[in-house]
Amino acid sequence: PGGADKAWFNSRLQASIYTDSNCGTRFLDDHPEQLLRHLMHGLDQPETLRNEPAQVGGRTGRLWVQRGVLDGVQVQVGALVFNRGACTYDMVFIAPPAHFDAGLQAFEAVFGGFHALGDEP
């Protein structure tokens, strides 16, 4: 609780990707837009660059990319959320704006390769 299920850090890009699942009593049956707002809550001076549907493990999720300031540092954040069964999944990619595009393919590979237990590979 309160931590990522899986996380990666790329020191060259100064970028991180993390995934998180909230199931059972931690499941939030909210609309993806509401879940994304919650994830981006601490971002000051947000500027939305993308807000679109995305396919994840046979489900439709929502991908939101914003640029803003986090703790005084300029960042760009990509966040994807979706519900499956009694679980909410979120995946976040955060990097300096100058390095965001260089790491975006890795982030897309993470959510493009997602399969929940019980899903057909």
Residue among 66, 70, 57 at smallest CA distance from 21: 57
Which pTM was predicted? 0.83
Q: Tens digit of pLDDT for each residue in 6-54?
A: 889 999 999 999 988 888 776 666 667 777 777 788 889 999 999 998 8
Q: Tens digit of pLDDT for each residue in 54-63?
A: 888 777 888 8
Residue 81 phi/psi, 5° resolution?
-130, 150
Residue among 62, 57, 95 at smallest CA distance from 80: 62
